[in-house]
Amino acid sequence: MNYKPFTDQEVIKYVYDNTNIFENINLLSCEEIGDGNLNLVFRIRDKKNKKSVIVKQALDYLRVAGDNWPLTRQRVKFESECLKIENDLTNGMCPKIYKYDTNMCCIVMEDLVDYEIMRKGLISGKKYNHFANNLSTFLSEVLFKTSDIFMNPVEKKKLMMNFINPELCKITEDLVFTDPYYDSESNNVNPELRDYLENYFWKNNELITNVEIMKEKFMTHSQSLIHGDLHTGSIFINDKDLKIFDAEFAFYGPSSFDIGAVIANLLLNYISWGGKDVSKEFRNDFRNYLKNSIIELWNLFEFKFKKLWDEKANKYYKSKEFRDIYVENLFHDSIGFSSCKMMRRCVGLAHVEDIDEIRDLKKRANVQKLVLKIGEFLIINRNDIESIEKLMSIIEELTSK
Ligand code: SR1
Ligand code: MG
């Protein structure tokens, strides 16, 4: 079969013919469950025994922007290879890949039926107490074990060659680091925010200079194999554990980009409660949970990463002083990337539901303005924030005004 986007019937037949997962094609049903940004995502289910799989197929354009934004469909290769590596390094913290097809540009993978998307859970006020422990394991294992500190330098460069992902990186360079900082056609601007953008935000040279510093780091610092889009919509979670998915943006980039992305999305949720109709007690309690999760996430990450370094660094890296400088740089850069990832979600093309579910545009603009002010403060002052506790006390202070 030559590549074409699957219909429901075609994807059922494809899975039946190309895997050994299902026994009777007549019992299979299919629904398309993609979030609409980039790909087709199908759930194929056996009605009788409830067995199911996910098929993710790349389209050759950016779905959210329509067919006038062409995009390589080979991106599923990056996703499937990255998930396999991350699974190996973390003892199964990603969905299992059953099949990857270069011709149909699709991946058949495990359906995580007992999990929910973390963003949805957080929006409904759900707490996950294991989150910081599990995610810090994922981040420290993957970011350390794909870096030059652990890998043989020749092997690392060979692996890097498999993860040159120019088109997906270009999306991030545009949508995270460039377009939100001028009146770009691609932006998705709340009319109630426009005045602030035109008269302040887009004219703020100090802010834009700092964003460009982070953009250049994103484009040049080939530190580790990073997920590249690690927001709370890329995390499946339940009360016991979590799984990371949606790794099509994977490439060799700055480790702090993944750490910053997670923190950004927790902070967006934190700030969003200011625009919602909930009691003060609930808001304070949930923000407290998020604050503690962010503090614990960084502290556990730092502890585990340094432990890996002490036990497993290769012969080329022996200095304890350099270890501490490396981790300190990760911390400050994580704050820098975090602020870029927060600001893009209020001005750029792709927003987050945490904030956009605030229907009243004036209320939403107030929340967005606060995100932009916090983002501006953090990116400008990132190198002077000495600890994660200090970061969270700044956030508490800026959101309590
Ligand atoms: C048009 S794609 C928009 C965004 O969705 C993905 O999750 C990435 O964050 C990308 O920037
Ligand atoms: Mg995605």
**Residue 74: predicted pLDDT:** 86
Ligand 1: atom nearest CA of 175 is 11
In this predicted structure, the answer to whether residue 39 has a pLDDT above a threshold of 80 is: yes
Task: Judge if the beta carbon of residue 38 lies within 6 A of ligand 1.
Answer: yes
**Residue 146: predicted pLDDT:** 98
Q: Whose alpha carbon is nearest atom 2 of ligand 1? A: 37
- In the chain, which segments carry CATH 3.90.1200.10? 116-399
Hey, is 224 helix, strand or coil? strand
Q: State both tokens at 100.
A: 């990857």
CATH code of the region 116-399: 3.90.1200.10
Q: What beta strand segments (E) does 260-328 contain?
A: none
Q: b/e string for 357-366 if b means 16 or more Cβ within 10 A? A: ebeeeeebbb
- Asked if ipTM goes beyond 0.95, one says yes
Q: State both tokens at 325.
A: 């400088």
Q: How much is the CA Rg of the chain, to the nearest whole Å?
A: 21
Task: Judge if the beta carbon of residue 62 lies within 6 A of ligand 1.
Answer: yes
Tell me 256's DSSP state: H
In this predicted structure, the answer to whether residue 38 has a pLDDT above a threshold of 80 is: yes
Find residue 224's DSSP bridge partners. Answer: 253
In this predicted structure, the answer to whether residue 270 has a pLDDT above a threshold of 90 is: yes
Going from the Cα of 336 to the center of ligand 2, the distance in angstroms, rounded, reads: 21
Residues of the chain with pLDDT > 90: what percent?
94
Confidence of residue 248 (pLDDT cuts 50, 70, 90): very high
Domain 8-110 class?
alpha beta
Taking a 5 Å cut-off on Cβ, the residues next to ion ligand 2 are 246
**Rounded-to-integer distance, Cα 316 and Cα 319, Å:** 9
**Residue 256: predicted pLDDT:** 99
Going from the Cα of 239 to the center of ligand 2, the distance in angstroms, rounded, reads: 23
In this predicted structure, the answer to whether residue 401 has a pLDDT above a threshold of 80 is: no
- Least confident among 63-67, 134-138, 297-301: 63-67
In this predicted structure, the answer to whether residue 50 has a pLDDT above a threshold of 90 is: no
Going from the Cα of 348 to the center of ligand 1, the distance in angstroms, rounded, reads: 10
- In the chain, which segments carry CATH 3.30.200.20? 8-110
**Residue 62: predicted pLDDT:** 82
Going from the Cα of 177 to the center of ligand 1, the distance in angstroms, rounded, reads: 12
Per the CB < 8 A criterion, the answer to whether 86 and 142 are in contact is yes
Count of C-beta atoms within a 10 Å radius of residue 115: 18
Q: State both tokens at 82.
A: 């990255």
Compute the average pLDDT of residues 197-208.
Answer: 98
Compute the C-alpha angle 51/131/90, nearest 5°. Answer: 65
Q: State both tokens at 65.
A: 């922007």
Q: Which amino acid is at 176?
A: V
**Rounded-to-integer distance, Cα 241 and Cα 119, Å:** 15
Q: Tell me if the pTM is above 0.90.
A: yes
Confidence of residue 1 (pLDDT cuts 50, 70, 90): confident
Positive or negative: CA dihedral 114, 120, 126, 130 = positive
